[in-house]
Amino acid sequence: MPFPAVVPASAIPPASLLLDARPGPEAFAGSHLPGAVHADLDRFLSSASDPGTDPARGGRHPLPVPAQWAAQLGAWGITPETWVVAYDDANGGNGAARLWWMLRAFGHRRAVLLDGGLQAALAADPAPGASLAPAPPYPGDRWLWPTVTLDQVDRLRLDPAWKVLDVRSRPRYRGETEPIDPVAGHIPGALNLPFAENLDAHGRFKEPDALRRMYREFLAGTSPDHLVVHCGSGVTACHTLLALDLARLGQASLYVGSWSEWCRNPLPRA
């Protein structure tokens, strides 16, 4: 059977593990779906909290090493047969799409994002999530979907066969505002298509045909496998990677370090 990238609250697979990907314990403590487990963005979906982590080398949300991720999936009780539903309260942009990408990129096909997020699900009164017993580490040892490094981005941004896509808001891309990182602006040569444009007026993902038209127009003949996607720290970029999957356009590369790594790197870059 096909494995969709997103599901509405009315179509959550039975006995699914619900993972709440919002950062920090306060939001989860305040409200979450019944039976959900907190897959805290900062604690589990990134190694940024590890001692000695330097944002200049990997950005603000570097990926955990594969062995750590395999152990965490096992601790949550996830095996290759487990349905996992990721959600947040920002239409997928606050951790849920990153969680979806990390599961799929690790080889776990039964991973979906909850369309509309926490708000839509609470309104639909879904069944409680499954309670799973811990399992052995997940049978994976590497990220199977493509990622690129700072040095690779520096080279590819100058290659006419490639495109580099910045999915942050237009004001952040233009350098008019920067609420998080120490420097405003964007990677020279990068183009901009905000991840919010993946969504309709109700905060749900647009239909696959609409996404396909939008990204084919953006790509303008560039193959999707020659596309690098980034954001501020490699989190919301996954929202666009999910949209590309919905559009059946294939896998682009994730620049995990994103602007948070690029703008802190001391090397002069024109």
Rounded to whole angstroms, the Cα distance separating 130 from 12 reads 11
Q: Are the beta carbons of 46 and 64 closer than 8 angstroms? A: yes
| Interior angle at CA 256, CA 252 and CA 260, nearest 5 | 130
Burial of 134 (0-12, 13-18, 19+ CB in 10 A): exposed
Question: Is 238 a residue of the active site?
Answer: no
The pairing of strands 227-230 and 191-192 is unpaired
How far does CA 106 lie from the centroid of its chain?
13
Q: Which of 250, 263, 232, 197 is nearest to 94 (CA)?
A: 232
Q: Is 112 helix (H, G, I), strand (E, B) or coil?
A: strand
Rounded to whole angstroms, the Cα distance separating 138 from 141 reads 9
Q: Are the beta carbons of 133 and 77 closer than 8 angstroms? A: yes
Residue tagged active-site, from 211, 231, 242, 243: 231
Rounded to whole angstroms, the Cα distance separating 234 from 241 reads 11
Rounded to whole angstroms, the Cα distance separating 190 from 158 reads 10
Q: Are the beta carbons of 33 and 122 closer than 8 angstroms? A: yes
Q: Which residues pair with 156 in a beta bridge?
A: none
Active-site annotation, residues: 231
